[in-house]
């Protein structure tokens, strides 16, 4: 099964070739005549719903949606310390993972490393495998933006002190264990939950 997820606020659009086993209810949409711009406008004021587009060629359908948007690239990290705790930040009244836009001429993996170090004041020891890509949508003027974020697994030596980059709106940076994630999961973005699922930090849904 090939599945793509696009996040609009805290709504999720699944594009797949088979009905997934989801832990949430979803509304199935018709692929015939589907227009992403119209769909975006319809769900932008809705909260916490899941939608499903079922197509034998989800890759082509997803590509068509991408081509209708302005693409912005970003990168970030899921960072573990020597005690097996994970780095989280609190920004714009929500829990998040450190990430940021890729600069011109910069590789995604390099951008992820730079953003984590800048936003949290730490030195990354290892920048390992790519965990996943996430996609979320927002508007920039009259354009619909699809932000593609590459996420990487990272480590630091020991348990370094964290210095949140306040000029980026980060009010807190902390190390949390798996047993301390309940507040995060109640107040974070669906894309962050996806990263935690892929990183085997939590097991929630698809």
pLDDT at 47: 87
Average pLDDT, the chain: 93
Q: Does 22 map to a domain?
A: yes
pTM to 2 decimal places: 0.92
Strand partners for 145 = 70, 138
pLDDT at 1: 76
Structurally, how many domains does the chain consist of?
2
> Domain with 192 in it: what CATH number?
3.90.79.10
- Answer yes or no: is pLDDT of 120 > 70: yes
Across the range 71-92, mean pLDDT stands at 97
Same domain, yes or no, for 103 and 139? Answer: yes
Q: Does 138 map to a domain?
A: yes
Q: Encode 163-198: b = buried (16+ Cβ within 10 Å), e = exposed.
A: ebbeeeebeebebbeeeebeebeeebbbbbbbbbbb
Same domain, yes or no, for 105 and 173? Answer: yes
Last residue of a domain, one of 18, 35, 67: 67
Across the range 47-72, mean pLDDT stands at 95
Same domain, yes or no, for 62 and 79? Answer: no
Q: Does 205 map to a domain?
A: no
- Answer yes or no: is pLDDT of 154 > 50: yes
Same domain, yes or no, for 130 and 180? Answer: yes
Across the range 17-31, mean pLDDT stands at 86
Same domain, yes or no, for 100 and 185? Answer: yes
Q: Does 204 map to a domain?
A: no
Across the range 13-39, mean pLDDT stands at 90
Same domain, yes or no, for 45 and 102? Answer: no
Last residue of a domain, one of 11, 41, 67: 67
pLDDT at 20: 75
- With a CB cutoff of 8 Å and minimum separation 6, the contacts of 187 are 93, 94, 95
pLDDT at 183: 93
Same domain, yes or no, for 90 and 169? Answer: yes
Token digits of residue 39: 């769909």
Please tell me the distance from the alpha carbon of residue 46 to that of residue 199, in angstroms, as a whole number.
Answer: 29
Q: Would you say how long the chain is, in residues?
A: 206
Degrees, nearest 5: CA angle 110-115-116 = 105
Query: What are the backbone dihedrals phi and psi of residue 64, each rounded to the nearest 5 degrees, phi first?
Result: -65, -40
Q: Does 183 map to a domain?
A: yes
Task: Output DSSP code: residue 201.
Answer: S
Contact 139, 125 (CB under 8 A): no
Same domain, yes or no, for 132 and 186? Answer: yes
The parent domain of residue 53 ranges over 3-67
Same domain, yes or no, for 162 and 128? Answer: yes
């Amino acid at each position: 099964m090939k599945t793509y997820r696009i996040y609009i606020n805290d709504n999720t659009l699944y594009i797949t070739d088979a009905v997934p086993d989801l832990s949430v209810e979803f509304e199935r949409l018709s692929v015939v005549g589907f227009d992403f711009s119209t769909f975006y406008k319809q769900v932008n004021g809705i909260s916490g719903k899941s939608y499903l587009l079922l197509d034998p060629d989800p890759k082509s359908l997803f590509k068509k949606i991408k081509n209708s948007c302005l693409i912005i690239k970003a990168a970030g990290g899921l960072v573990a310390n020597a005690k097996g705790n994970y780095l989280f930040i609190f920004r714009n009244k929500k829990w998040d993972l450190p990430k940021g836009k890729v600069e011109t001429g910069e590789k995604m993996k390099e951008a992820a490393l730079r953003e984590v170090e800048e936003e949290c004041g730490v030195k990354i020891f290892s920048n390992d495998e790519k965990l996943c890509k996430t996609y979320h949508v927002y508007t920039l003027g009259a354009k619909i933006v699809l932000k593609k974020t590459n996420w990487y697994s990272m480590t630091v030596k020991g348990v370094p002190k964290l210095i949140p980059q306040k000029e980026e709106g980060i009010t807190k940076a902390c190390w949390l264990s798996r047993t301390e994630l309940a507040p995060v999961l109640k107040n974070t973005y669906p894309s962050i939950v996806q990263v935690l699922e892929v990183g085997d930090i939590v097991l929630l849904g698809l």
